[in-house]
Amino acid sequence: MKEEKTILQTEAQISEGGGELAVNKKNIVKELLMKILFIIAAAIFIAVVAVICVYLFVLAVPTIAEIGFFEFIFGSRWLPGNELYGLGTLIVGTSYATACALIVGVPIGLLVAVFMAFYCPKWLYKVMKPVVNILAGIPSIVYGYFGLNVIVPFVSRTFGGGGASLLATALVLGIMILPTVISISENALRAVPKSYYEGALALGATKERAIIKTVFPAAMSGVVTSIILALGRAFGETAAVVLVCGNIAQFPDSLLDPIRTLSSNIATGLAYGTGLHRQALIASSVVLFVFILIITAIVMVLRKKKR
């Protein structure tokens, strides 16, 4: 029995040796096939973006043409009942909300990033990092509901008015963009060579001065990237905003006026809109999309500069 086995084995070895060429060929084919699969996977990314682009634009352009481009973008009245589709108030509302959210979130986020990169002891970092991650992970609808039940009444009690307002929106969005600002800025600050910081300290600067005057300028492109990504997140946020913004399409006069954003308009209108109303909502999502494309382009340019 044993002998038989060894004979069989040697036979197998011989046949393998003889078929080396065939095996090689098979390998080459396999390598090539898999390489093509990998390329296809990468190409899917391009295809998805292309399909989204083309599909949205093809559907939106006729609508915008029907309403009239200037009427659509700059018209100040969104009254689907009267066939009036002007995004003016919505664009202004979105911009105000985004700007105010940045005013709330960016300074705090940058200060926390400084803390995480320069002050945080190791044991505390092990707590703070997950805390920031949880902040990033909480679903936006939960933020919205929290805002509706805590921040809106708080605004109403402290400053008067209905509560659901530009200020409430800014506060909720400000909290939501914190993790983006913190984690990307922190990485940018950490990427600056330690020698910059140490050099400044050696020249007699205080720790804070060294951070502000040497590390921050060196990390500027990363910090700006984090702010712009936060801007993108705030601009497109829907589920949280729709609950706290008050949903009145108007130019806000004060922080306490209710607003309506592009995204919340889409989310609420889509539930019942038909015909041209629905088409206009789809077209307004293209406005959001174009804005995000611009932001992405800016981020790409900044990344290139960093290298």
Partner 1 sequence: MAKELILKEGEVDARDIVPINRQSFRDKLQAYLHKPFSFLLLILVAIATFATAAVVVGIVIYVLWQGVPHLKPELFSWRWTIDNLSLMPSLINTLVISLISLLLAGVIGIFAAIFMVEYAKSTNVFVKIVRMAAETLSGIPSIVYGIFGMMFFVDEDFLGMGFTLLGGALTMTMMILPLIMRTTEEALLAVPDSFREGSFALGAGKLRTIFVIILPSAIPGIVSGVILGFGRIVGETMALVYTAGSAFNIRYPAGLMGQGCTLTVYMYSLISEGSGYSNQAWAIAVVLIILVVIINGAAEFIGNKLKKEY
Catalogue the E-assigned strands of the chain.
Answer: 78-79, 84-85
DSSP lists the bridge partners of residue 78 as 85
Least distance (Å) between residue 8 CB and partner 1: 25
Radius of gyration, alpha carbons of the chain:
28
Least distance (Å) between residue 305 CB and partner 1: 15
Least distance (Å) between residue 249 CB and partner 1: 17
Give 14 or 150: the residue with its C-beta nearer to partner 1: 150
Give 1 or 58: the residue with its C-beta nearer to partner 1: 58
Phi-psi region of 296 (alpha: psi -120 to 50; beta: other; left: phi over 0): alpha
**SS3 sequence, 249-300?**
CCCCCCCCCCECCHHHHHHHHCCCCCHHHHHHHHHHHHHHHHHHHHHHHHHH
Give 19 or 254: the residue with its C-beta nearer to partner 1: 19
Least distance (Å) between residue 236 CB and partner 1: 2
Least distance (Å) between residue 135 CB and partner 1: 5
d(CA 307, CA 296): 17
Give 97 or 281: the residue with its C-beta nearer to partner 1: 281
Give 19 or 107: the residue with its C-beta nearer to partner 1: 107
